[in-house]
Amino acid sequence: MAPGNLTRITEFILMGVSDHPDLQIPLFFIFLVIYGLTVTGNVGIITLTSVDSRLQTPMYFFLRHLAIINLGNSTVIAPKMLTNILVKDKLISYYECATQLGVFLVFIVSEVCLLAVMAYDRYVAICNPLLYMVVVSRQLCLLLVSLTYFYGVSTSIVATYSVFSVTYCSSNVVNHFFCDIAPLLPLSCSDTYFPETVVFISATTNLVFSMITVVLSYSNIVLSILRMRSAEGRKKAFSTCASHIMAVMVFYGTLLFMYVQPQSSHSLDTDKMASVFYTLVIPMLNPMIYSLRNKDVKDASKRFLTNSFCAVKSI
């Protein structure tokens, strides 16, 4: 086809998780429940860590922002996906697609950075408890979270611009349930070397530096736990760390699978399954893994419910 005859795409069709008609209704209710639990769990964490005076520590400050990121990440994806399951025309405009990708990247990059910050926070708390409140001050917490969001926004602008700097003019059918980099680039009818290189370098850099911080922090934490004299203390600390490490491994594993391998190696059907984990399942599980198993959070929940009940009763 001659370049002058190419028609620029103005909208995309999102295929969804599955194209089997019999699976649409079951998938709708499964993802609706997942999204409902995600909203409930993360809004609960945000509320408790904001209003309870006993949860005004650096750890819960970072947990609050992890909950904000998880809620935002899931909300960018889930409502549109749920709507598309029920409608026949699964359309998304060109600019809506770019916006969805851009906002999604803000949250996913911010989460990568925040997990490294949280690992460092736990390292200082466990390995240097006497210096914890001095080292991890309120000013440092605000600075680290601000830098996390700033870096997320900056990376998103660069990556989104590079992905949508190429021309889309052939097929507009996206074999995915949201506008992501891997299923979009194969639809381009121009050279994709530049965006592929930008995405690969950005993803590799972000994940490697974050993973190094996490691995070093938790390695030192494990060594510190092993030196504890109390067997009960070691068991409790290992139980908490094991769940955190498992959540981090699943999150990083799916991102490495999605963004670090070359575009030519991608299997889009497999990518969709990996994407379900880090866009829907992990944001649902994080409140339980990081907070709801925590005694302080459980006590704060009881106090909040008791105070709310008393306030309603007195009206």
Res 74: pLDDT: 96
**In angstroms, how far is the first alpha carbon of the chain from the final one?**
72
Residue 3 in tokens: 């370049």
Count CA atoms closer than 13 A to 85's CA, side-chain side: 20
> In Å, how far are 99, 104, 163, 166, 174 from 8, measured between CA atoms?
18, 24, 15, 11, 15
CB proximity list for 196: less than 8 A, separation 6 or greater = 185, 262, 263
Q: Indicate the pairing of strand 173-174 with strand 91-93.
A: unpaired
Torsion, Cα 210 211 213 217, to 10 degrees, reads 140
Phi/psi at 188 (5° precision): -75, 145
Q: Which class in CATH covers the domain with range 10-308?
A: mainly alpha
Res 255: pLDDT: 80
Q: Show the beta-strand stretches assigned E in 32-149.
A: 91-93
Three-state SS for 198?
A: helix
Phi/psi at 267 (5° precision): -110, 110
Report the alpha-carbon distance of residue 283 to residue 37 in Å, rounded: 9
pLDDT tens per residue across all 315 residues of the chain: 444 455 678 899 999 888 888 889 999 999 999 999 999 999 999 999 999 888 888 989 999 999 999 999 999 999 999 999 999 889 999 999 999 999 999 999 999 999 999 999 989 988 888 888 889 999 999 999 999 999 999 999 999 999 999 999 878 999 999 999 988 998 998 889 999 999 989 988 998 899 899 999 988 988 888 887 777 767 766 766 776 777 788 788 888 777 666 655 556 677 788 889 889 999 998 888 876 667 778 778 878 877 777 777 776
Q: What is the pTM of this model?
A: 0.90
